[in-house]
Chains A and B, each alone.
Chain A
Amino acid sequence: MKAAKYLALVIALALVGSFVTAPVASAQDAKVIKIASHSPLSGGQSLLGTAIRNGVELAIEQYKKPIEDMGFTVEFVPFDDQATPDVGVSNAQNIVNDPAILALVGHLNSGVAIPSSEVYNRADLAMVSPANTNVNVTDRGYPTVNRVCGRDDAQGAAGAQYAVEKLGSKKVYVLHDKTAYGEGVATFFAQAMEAAGVEVLGFEGTTEAANFDAIITPIAALEPDLIYFGGIYNQAAVFFKQARDKGIKANFMGPDGMDGSDLAKIAGEAVVGLVYTSAAGPASVYPAAEKFVEDYKAKFTINPEAYAAEGYASTQIVLAAIEKVLSENGGAMPTRADVAKAIRATTDFDTVIGKISFDANGDPKVATYYILQVKNADPAKWGENELVSSVTAPSPLTAKEMMEGGMEATPEATKSN
């Protein structure tokens, strides 16, 4: 018995020791440039979080050569925010304390990105977001915060427009997940629906993850023709499945958080026909993405989920900016502020998801919002979801400039099938 206790003590000490010594092993090298990814790699949303991580890794592998030719080693450091704000913020403290990290690609969840970027901004660390659509991500006007995707005000409006014009919705019930992202986009959607004269029967937030019975009961009694879920696929799928099982016939709709094949894996037949808006188009709409999809499949042996291409594109921007700073300062280690400035200055830069220019707030000057419909209950066929419509809209700052310049600034529907 005593021997066992000592053995346990020795094992515990060894474990503690290994944690203490681990950081020492990664000795600081002035010639190392690190790029971090920060997204949920574990938990219910890891499907999309891992897609972002993989996109960043692939882009670094393919585009690091020019920087390495200037005598630097480019390293990739993935972080796991667990889709939780406090984990994101505590990781952010660690990230800004590593001087070799010059830029970061992340997050998946706006609710995590907003508090974490406060930390990055204090340390001048540039963040390029592949997926955060909440308006407050960029509306704070931080010089370090950028995104390659669209905004929830436009996304909610695009969804509402489709719901009214194409689905003929008259009565809608809106649910959200109580996160900054989910509640934000659901609010914009509900406002746009009300403005279009649609009756909003209810606007409810819930963190329930498993048993939605009691939430479905009033919805069934109110008989809406459309249910909108502002949230992420892992929670929404369970809700949609149970709602169909309880005999609800209404159309289902959601924002870009629905764009994960696990939605079909969990909800099956229940989500066939579901319409979702997305700030990330399917690979088929990007001419340059064909090779990306092939490379991604070859490296990771899985299909790229939503935001893999956006993660890749964000990294392309980051690497080009670092390269530019290096060529301007004659090969000295760039400062974070210089990198952030170079990223913000990105204009008409060719990425895998098309040309990107940032406005003064870090929004892409023009963003396209895609409206897709789930076609098959088989998660392996998620990539075959049909693009039913798309809307291109300028960012608020760009729209203001255009108004001042006397140009038409209303969003225009470019394609509609």
Chain B
Amino acid sequence: MPALQRAGNWINLYILKPIGQILVFVVVSAAIMSALALLLGAVLNTPWHGIDLLKTRKGIDLFNQVVKQLPDMLLDGISIGFVYAVIALGYTMVYGVLRFINFAHSEIFMVGGVIGFEVMTRLGEANALSTMPPLFVILLMILMAMAFCGILAVVIERIAYKPLRGAPKLVPLISAIGVSFLLTDVVRAVQALSRNVFNMPYPLDRVGNPPRIFDLISFDPITQLSKGQQFLNPPFLQTRIPLVGNLTTNMTTVIIIVSAIIMVVGLNYFVNATKLGKGIRAVSQDQTTAALMGINVNQMITLTFLIGGALGGAAGVLFGLKVANITPYIGFFPGLKAFTAAVLGGIGNITGALLGGILLGLLEAFFSALLPFFPALGTGYSDIFAFSVLILVLLFRPTGLLGKKEDEKV
């Protein structure tokens, strides 16, 4: 039985434990946010000493409104939070190994979205989009984006960062900002010259659309019949997935969350259980000593960029599936937020990036969904509140929620 026991241990350590951890993060942050929102709703519903401090919109029962919106706010927050988390992994891994913030990562993420668009559009042009199994299409998009962006990140490292490795820390940072502008404009130029487009809408409605959930990997030959854009069934990605009670969500959200969990679990396994992962961890602790122990530092750095870039690319596709339209400028804000998430969780810490992403996603979703009820403020201020929370957290925990205090190496 030892083999079976080992397998059991393995599953426990590398599958169940990380998934359990993610679940705990999601449930705890969701519970805290919900409790705060409900409390706020209840308190602000009755004017304090007759003074309506925040000037709630007239005729709105704030508490009821919070209750009504709670499931949607949680789902929105968690799904965008997972996207932020996957992007944040790229920032945090590179920082962990090189103590360097790769500001071009947000544009690698954008390129991932563009690759997803290209794969989807080409399949559509070949009339294969509605005939191929939808999950296969999405898997193909994600894998293509991962491969392309992984290699792109490695190439960028070779050209723009490696020659500057001995230079002062600000120099590669500036180089990264330059690369980020370069990527935006290269994508803009390529898409303008090849397709004459700026907006890159994903042809989501054309992805095959079987109506039954348990029949995902098959297609209905009837839907193949071209009827312009009229579909017999609701498009695949709009399929409603039942959750608790009569609460439902759509297929896109499920795909985002499931793929993000697979990536996080996979990365966790790679970093903690493989020899290469051990190498990366060694380099992140001390480059010189790692080199003395016979670890090829350059190889490990290349590998880190490959993985970070691949995750960024995958996140780009997931974001594209969610928002349905990609432009060359799309990377900036999600990139900035993911970077924030990485700092919030403790930069350099993989679990921290995940926690930070989910927390920031929830903060953003709650604030922008509830601020419209305070006409004096409005949705436009949601980022200010989300980032104020970040500042508060960093005031009390300067290394981030899960970051360890680290003495400057001499």
Residues of A within 8 A of B (CB): 42-44, 46, 178, 202-207, 209-215, 217-218, 220-221, 234, 237-238, 241-242, 245-246, 262, 265-266, 268-269, 377-378
**Contact present for A210 and B365 (CB under 8 Å):** no
**Contact present for B319 and A204 (CB under 8 Å):** no
One digit per residue, 1 when the CB lies within 8 angstroms of any chain A CB and 0 when it does not, for chain B 276-316 equals 00000000000000000000000000000000000000000
Q: Which of B69, B319, B368 has the most CB of A within 10 A?
A: B368
**Contact present for B188 and A42 (CB under 8 Å):** yes
Instruction: Say yes or no for B147: interface residue by CB 8 A criterion.
Output: no
List, in ascending order, chain A residues with CB within 8 A of B205's CB: 268-269
Bound complex: CA A262 to CA B72 (Å): 29
Please provide the 7 A-B residue pairs with the shortest distance between their CB atoms, ordered closest to farther: A214-B368, A213-B76, A217-B369, A210-B323, A266-B201, A217-B72, A214-B365
**Contact present for A378 and B229 (CB under 8 Å):** yes
**Contact present for A217 and B365 (CB under 8 Å):** yes
Instruction: Say yes or no for B272: interface residue by CB 8 A criterion.
Output: no
List, in ascending order, chain A residues with CB within 8 A of B364's CB: 214
Instruction: Say yes or no for B324: interface residue by CB 8 A criterion.
Output: yes
Total number of residue pairs linking A and B with CB closer than 8 Å:
109
Q: Across the two chains, which residue of chain B brings its CB closest to A233?
A: B199
Contacting residue for A210 out of B68, B192, B330, CB 8 A: B330
List, in ascending order, chain B residues with CB within 8 A of A268's CB: 201, 205, 229
Contacting residue for B69 out of A210, A217, A245, CB 8 A: A217
Which residues of B (49-69) have their CB < 8 Å from a CB of A? 57, 65, 68-69
Q: Across the two chains, which residue of chain A brings its CB closest to B370?
A: A218
**Contact present for B198 and A178 (CB under 8 Å):** no
Q: Across the two chains, which residue of chain A brings its CB closest to B238?
A: A245
Which residues of B (180-208) have their CB < 8 Å from a CB of A? 188, 192, 198-199, 201, 205
User: A178 to nearest B CB, angstroms?
Assistant: 7
List, in ascending order, chain B residues with CB within 8 A of A205's CB: 378-380
Instruction: Say yes or no for B34: interface residue by CB 8 A criterion.
Output: no
Bound complex: CA A63 to CA B373 (Å): 55
**Contact present for A44 and B327 (CB under 8 Å):** yes
Interface of B is mostly: helix
Bound complex: CA A238 to CA B199 (Å): 10
**Contact present for B72 and A378 (CB under 8 Å):** no
Q: Which of A46, A204, A214, A262 has the most CB of B within 10 A?
A: A214
**Contact present for B324 and A241 (CB under 8 Å):** yes
List, in ascending order, chain A residues with CB within 8 A of B327's CB: 44, 209, 234
**Contact present for B68 and A221 (CB under 8 Å):** yes
**Contact present for B199 and A234 (CB under 8 Å):** yes
**Contact present for A245 and B325 (CB under 8 Å):** no
11 extra interchain contacts, Cβ-Cβ under 8 A, other than A213-B76, A218-B372, A220-B72? A204-B380, A205-B380, A209-B329, A210-B325, A214-B366, A214-B368, A221-B65, A221-B68, A237-B199, A238-B323, A377-B228
Q: Across the two chains, which residue of chain B brings its CB closest to A213?
A: B76
User: B187 to nearest A CB, angstroms?
Assistant: 13
Supply 9 A–B pairs (Cβ within 8 Å), ascending by A.
A211-B319, A211-B323, A212-B323, A213-B365, A221-B69, A266-B324, A269-B205, A269-B229, A377-B229
Instruction: Say yes or no for B382: interface residue by CB 8 A criterion.
Output: yes
List, in ascending order, chain A residues with CB within 8 A of B9's CB: none
List, in ascending order, chain A residues with CB within 8 A of B72's CB: 217, 220-221, 246
Bound complex: CA A325 to CA B77 (Å): 63
**Contact present for B76 and A238 (CB under 8 Å):** no
Q: Across the two chains, which residue of chain B brings its CB closest to A204?
A: B379
List, in ascending order, chain A residues with CB within 8 A of B252's CB: 245
Instruction: Say yes or no for B134: interface residue by CB 8 A criterion.
Output: no
Q: Which of A210, A212, A215, A241 has the most CB of B within 10 A?
A: A210
Which residues of B (372-395) have their CB < 8 Å from a CB of A? 372-373, 375, 378-380, 382
User: B400 to nearest A CB, angstroms?
Assistant: 24
Bound complex: CA A119 to CA B201 (Å): 37
Contacting residue for B380 out of A206, A245, A378, CB 8 A: A206
**Contact present for A214 and B382 (CB under 8 Å):** yes
**Contact present for B80 and A237 (CB under 8 Å):** no
Q: Which of B199, B369, B373 has the most CB of A within 10 A?
A: B199
Residues of B within 8 A of A (CB): 57, 65, 68-69, 72-73, 76-77, 79-80, 188, 192, 198-199, 201, 205, 228-229, 238, 250, 252, 319, 322-325, 327, 329-330, 333-334, 364-370, 372-373, 375, 378-380, 382
User: B91 to nearest A CB, angstroms?
Assistant: 19
List, in ascending order, chain A residues with CB within 8 A of B367's CB: 214
Bound complex: CA A213 to CA B362 (Å): 12
List, in ascending order, chain B residues with CB within 8 A of A178's CB: 380
List, in ascending order, chain B residues with CB within 8 A of A202's CB: 57, 372
**Contact present for B330 and A209 (CB under 8 Å):** yes
**Contact present for A266 and B199 (CB under 8 Å):** yes
User: B200 to nearest A CB, angstroms?
Assistant: 9
List, in ascending order, chain A residues with CB within 8 A of B323's CB: 210-212, 238, 242
List, in ascending order, chain B residues with CB within 8 A of A206's CB: 379-380
User: A236 to nearest B CB, angstroms?
Assistant: 11
**Contact present for B379 and A43 (CB under 8 Å):** no
Q: Across the two chains, which residue of chain B brings its CB closest to A40?
A: B198
List, in ascending order, chain A residues with CB within 8 A of B366's CB: 214
List, in ascending order, chain B residues with CB within 8 A of A265's CB: 199, 201
List, in ascending order, chain B residues with CB within 8 A of A203's CB: 375
User: A177 to nearest B CB, angstroms?
Assistant: 11
Bound complex: CA A44 to CA B192 (Å): 11
Q: Across the two chains, which residue of chain B brings its CB closest to A377?
A: B229
**Contact present for A262 and B199 (CB under 8 Å):** yes
**Contact present for A237 and B325 (CB under 8 Å):** yes
Contacts A266-B199, A268-B229; is A214 near B76 (CB within 8 Å)?
Answer: yes
Bound complex: CA A333 to CA B216 (Å): 73
**Contact present for A46 and B228 (CB under 8 Å):** no
User: B294 to nearest A CB, angstroms?
Assistant: 29
User: B67 to nearest A CB, angstroms?
Assistant: 10
Bound complex: CA A238 to CA B322 (Å): 11
Bound complex: CA A220 to CA B72 (Å): 9
**Contact present for A238 and B324 (CB under 8 Å):** yes
List, in ascending order, chain A residues with CB within 8 A of B365's CB: 213-214, 217
Bound complex: CA A341 to CA B373 (Å): 50
Q: Across the two chains, which residue of chain A brings its CB closest to B252?
A: A245
User: A242 to nearest B CB, angstroms?
Assistant: 7
**Contact present for A42 and B373 (CB under 8 Å):** no
User: B238 to nearest A CB, angstroms?
Assistant: 6
Bound complex: CA A266 to CA B205 (Å): 11
List, in ascending order, chain B residues with CB within 8 A of A238's CB: 323-325
Bound complex: CA A44 to CA B197 (Å): 9
Bound complex: CA A210 to CA B72 (Å): 18
Contacting residue for A43 out of B69, B198, B334, B382, CB 8 A: B198
Bound complex: CA A214 to CA B367 (Å): 8
Bound complex: CA A202 to CA B377 (Å): 12
List, in ascending order, chain B residues with CB within 8 A of A262's CB: 199
User: A206 to nearest B CB, angstroms?
Assistant: 6
List, in ascending order, chain B residues with CB within 8 A of A43's CB: 198
**Contact present for A215 and B322 (CB under 8 Å):** no
Bound complex: CA A245 to CA B249 (Å): 10
List, in ascending order, chain A residues with CB within 8 A of B76's CB: 213-214, 217
User: B307 to nearest A CB, angstroms?
Assistant: 25
